[in-house]
Structure 1
Amino acid sequence: MTSDSPIPEPVDHFSVTDRDLVQAMRQGQIEALGVLYDRYAKLVYGLALRILSNTEEAEDVAQEVFLSLWHRQTYDPSRGSLSSFLMTMTRSRSIDKLRSRNTGFRFLQRWKGLTREELSSSTPLEQASISERSERVRHALAQLPEAEREILQIAYYEGLSQSEIAQRLNMPLGTVKTRSRQGLLKLRKILQDCV
């Protein structure tokens, strides 16, 4: 395959090397990405699923990995195999997703735990403190855009997962995740002095 020739059409795509496909992809041939996806999608998805234990998140990671391969084109064949590069990228993205998931969950759990602990206290001073903090949280939530506020309220007050929220609100899971993450970041910033 020459540097400016397209991928041979009806030829067995497994006879074309990864290096040739990467070169074709860099020249804008989307078909090359399709062939690479066919070769490595199961591997990428499988690793993401093992790390995340969540099919939707594993699908998101697989999509991110291949989109990054297409858009960023950071793979250097002289530094190792494409499969190793994809596995490293998948592992990194999956761990980032775990950290993001855990950060948001810990933040909500901290507020939920504070509320439960504080409700068991009985002194008037403690009750006043609980009331003040609850008012701060309500005020902070009110400052969020409606879409983000609704998702956080459902997650916190009703305890629904992101998948359940997506189903209830009839919206893509990715949208729920994005709005939840954005809302949590804004809420954390607003409540920074309380946390």
Structure 2
Amino acid sequence: MGKPTDKELYERIQMKDKAALELMYDRYEKLLYSLAYRITKDPHFSEEVMQDVFMKLWNGKGAGQYNEDKGKFSSWLLTVTRNTSIDLLRKKKEVEYQWDERDSLQEEIPSVEKEVEDQEKRDELTEAMDTLPDEQQRMIYLFYFQGLSQQNISKVCELPVGTVKGRIRLALKKLRENLATERRVDHGK
């Protein structure tokens, strides 16, 4: 019998098979650490993220539950890693904020107008993203929001690099067109 699939390892992990967890760790540790480091920019935080992700996988609750109907295991595991990294950064910022709050009274507070404008731009981008085909949305999400290289997207999605590049290029072209159209409509032109 050949190398076990991710699904087989996952099912064994759900039955508390430590050997399966070790195999899964060996299979994904570099990819997950790389993603966690890209997000946190800190080796200690990246290690903490890795530990949290594999504990979620071991405990199999909430974010630790994979649903095969929703996509590939590797994509799900990358999403769990990304979310865990972001959660850790948020906790870190909360602690820093509490610590520095009294010292930062001199800092400039962003204007309400700026915050509203930023939110409107995010909403506009989200609406434009929703018009893209699913495969193009996924490429944009992995490339720009998860920070994966085209090579890594190719591996994760099991697609040729040329296909990944083409989908990203088409998605960006369509996003530009959609945003330009939306702006013309909003400005009554």
Task: Report the TM-score when normalising by structure 2.
Answer: 0.51
Question: Which whole-Å CA distance do the structure 2 matches of 1:105 and 1:97 have between them?
Answer: 12
SS in 1 for 2:7: helix
8 Å contact 2:14–2:59 — kept in the other structure? no
Paired residues for 1:42-81 under 5 Å? 42-72=30-60, 73-81=64-72
State the AA in 1 paired with 2:80.
M
- What is the rounded CA distance, in whole Å, between the counterparts of 1:94 and 1:16 in structure 2? 28
| AA of the residue aligned to 1:69 | L
Q: What amino acid is aligned across from residue 93 of structure 2 in structure 1?
A: N
Aligned match of 2:13: 25
TM-score by length of 1: 0.49
Identity percentage over the alignment? 37
Bigger mean CA deviation after superposition, 100-109 or 61-70: 100-109
What is the CA distance between 1:77 and its match in structure 2? 2.2
1:101 partnered with 2:92: yes
Within the candidate set 86, 92, 102, 2:83 is matched to 92
Corresponding letter in the other structure for 1:62: M
Quote the Cα distance in structure 1 between the aligned partners of 2:94 and 2:15: 40
CA RMSD of aligned residues (A): 2.0
Aligned to 2:28: 40
- Equivalents in 1 of 2:104, 2:55: separation in Å? 39
Higher relative contact order (CA 8 A, sep 6+): 2
Which stretches in structure 2 are left out of the alignment for 5+ residues? Answer: 108-189
Rg (Cα) greater in structure? 1
- 1:18 & 1:38 partners in 2: Cα distance? 12
